Amino acid sequence: MSTSMLARAFVLLALSVALAVMVSVVSATEARAQDMSAELEEYNAVCFDEAGEWLKSDGCIRSAESLGIEIDNLLESERKGCVLSEMFEDYSCKGEEGSK
């Protein structure tokens, strides 16, 4: 084998490895996003009542903290009277005041 062919083979191998790493990272990121989405859905089901009002229990506060939810957003939204359907993904209130 010539040096040129060896160099090409090495480049192809390096590109294959890089592509495999990128695919693994994307797959892991996507899986984590799906896990987080499921955890947030569960949080919403447990920590908001049927009307969409936040249940400010110690358990819901601890769960929010462990999920990385900003407690200040929840408290401010509650203060404004916002229900879950009136909140952004970060649990901040969509409007100046809630609809109550």
Structure-token pair, residue 24: 């693994």
**Which tens digits make up the pLDDT trace of 84-95?**
999 999 999 997
**Distance between CA 44 and CA 77 in Å, rounded?**
14
pTM above 0.85, yes or no: no
**Which tens digits make up the pLDDT trace of 47-82?**
999 999 999 999 999 999 999 999 999 999 999 999
Return the closest-CA partner of residue 92 out of 63, 66, 70: 70
